[in-house]
């Protein structure tokens, strides 16, 4: 491919006609795919990158990271500009569809503002993952499959070289954390239903990744142990430093009654002796309960950046 002076050549495979973006139909094929290997490799690389680090620590913030935060700020502003409508049913406010229609229309333009001109051909494919990452506009629901689409969106930006190795901490602490804030606002504003939730037997109604990366942050912490996250005082004092505790805070704000009843799985996890054991267990659980469950992963998209072809190396 040709490119600007000094820029790496664009791979011609980036531009994918919409019809060629495929979805999962065969779980065995998915688990053997290059997409699965790349996606899981990305999650685990970030897991190591944030190990033992606080959200408030110093880290490099590159220009693409700033642009991604600006993109998420735009989505946040659109929520303010699209208030919920009066409707008889309590859940699934139809104003979400108006908000989503705007994203659907603007996604490619938003992505084009993040990636350099010589990679412009990648924008339509990368934008597909952004559109998938905010919930379903028909059902007005959101779940771990949508969260996985946002991680895939970031993974694609790494694959085309927009995000680099030294962006790891900023990807989780600045971009993904901002994404979580916007998703929580969407969930609250439009009263979104949990997608594919297992109710009390699931880890959380909406998210999974911040528990994985959040538990990695807490590995070898001098005083905070897994048993402490069910203590309200500990959560209130430390949530600004740790994603895991931020998630716990959000759950306790949204749910009533004893923690052990509304979040049984997390209550069980609080009995695990160390954060490294929690982290390993959550990675196993994520594969089994999210990535290997057809209802969650059936909408996952494939293209030239995350191909369905079997792993080659």
Confidence band for 196, pLDDT divided at 50, 70 and 90: confident
Average pLDDT over residues 191-213: 85
Alpha-carbon distances of 288 from 148, 149, 202, 292, rounded to whole Å: 14, 17, 12, 5
Contact 69, 110 (CB under 8 A): no
Q: What is the mean pLDDT of residues 94-109?
A: 98
Encode pLDDT of 26-51 as tens digits. 788 899 999 999 999 999 999 999 99
pLDDT reported for residue 201? 65
pLDDT of residue 25: 64
Say how far apart CA 286 and CA 32 lie, in whole Å: 17
3-class SS at 99? helix
**Alpha helices in the chain, H assignment, sequence order:** 27-32, 34-49, 63-81, 95-112, 123-132, 144-159, 168-170, 177-189, 209-217, 232-238, 243-254, 259-262, 264-269, 275-286, 294-297
As a whole-number percent, the residues of the chain with pLDDT over 90 amount to 80
pTM exceeding the 0.85 threshold for the entire prediction: yes
pLDDT tens-digit profile of 224-245? 999 999 999 999 999 999 999 9
Longest CA–CA separation in the chain, Å = 61
Q: Compute the distance between CA of residue 7 and CA of residue 307 in angstroms, rounded to an integer.
A: 24
Q: Would you state the pLDDT for residue 250?
A: 94
Tens digit of pLDDT for each residue in 234-289? 999 999 999 999 999 999 998 889 999 999 999 999 999 999 999 999 999 999 98
* pLDDT of 69 higher than 90: yes
Give the mean pLDDT of 127-132: 97
The whole-number average pLDDT for the span 207-221 is 97
Are residues 300 and 145 in contact, defined by beta-carbon separation less than 8 angstroms?
A: yes
Alpha-carbon distance 158 to 146, whole Å?
19
Domains contained in the chain, CATH given: 18-84+92-302 (1.20.120.1150)
In this predicted structure, the answer to whether residue 21 has a pLDDT above a threshold of 80 is no
pLDDT at 14: 38
Tell me how far apart the alpha carbons of residues 210 and 33 are, in angstroms, rounded to a whole number. Answer: 24
Q: What rounded mean pLDDT belongs to the chain?
A: 90
**According to the model, what pLDDT value does residue 10 have?**
36
């Amino acid at each position: 491919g040709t490119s600007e002076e000094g820029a790496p050549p664009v791979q011609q495979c980036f531009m994918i006609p919409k019809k060629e973006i495929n979805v999962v139909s065969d779980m065995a094929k998915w688990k053997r795919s290059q997409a699965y290997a790349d996606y899981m490799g990305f999650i685990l690389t970030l897991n190591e990158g944030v190990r033992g680090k606080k959200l408030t620590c110093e880290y490099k913030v590159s220009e693409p990271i700033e642009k991604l935060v600006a993109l998420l700020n735009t989505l946040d502003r659109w929520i303010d500009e699209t208030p919920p409508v009066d409707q008889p049913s309590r859940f699934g406010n139809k104003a979400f569809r108006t908000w989503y229609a705007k994203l659907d229309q603007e996604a490619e333009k938003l992505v084009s503002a993040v990636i350099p001109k010589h990679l412009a051909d990648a924008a339509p494919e990368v934008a597909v993952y952004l559109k998938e990452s905010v919930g379903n506009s028909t059902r007005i629901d959101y779940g771990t499959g949508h969260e996985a689409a946002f991680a895939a969106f970031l993974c694609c930006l790494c694959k085309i070289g927009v995000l680099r190795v030294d962006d790891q901490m900023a990807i989780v602490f600045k971009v993904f954390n901002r994404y979580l804030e916007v998703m929580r606002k969407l969930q609250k504003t439009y009263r979104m239903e949990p997608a594919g939730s297992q109710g009390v037997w699931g880890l959380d109604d909406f998210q999974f990744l911040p528990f994985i990366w959040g538990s990695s942050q807490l590995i070898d912490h001098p005083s905070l142990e897994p048993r402490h996250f069910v203590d309200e005082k500990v959560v209130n004092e430390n949530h600004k430093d740790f994603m895991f505790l931020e998630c716990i805070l959000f759950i306790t704000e949204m749910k009533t009654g004893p923690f052990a009843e509304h979040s049984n799985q997390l209550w069980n996890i609080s009995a695990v002796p160390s954060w490294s054991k929690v982290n390993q267990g959550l990675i196993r659980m994520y594969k089994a309960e999210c990535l290997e469950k057809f209802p969650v992963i059936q909408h996952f998209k494939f293209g030239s950046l995350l191909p369905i072809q079997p792993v080659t190396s």
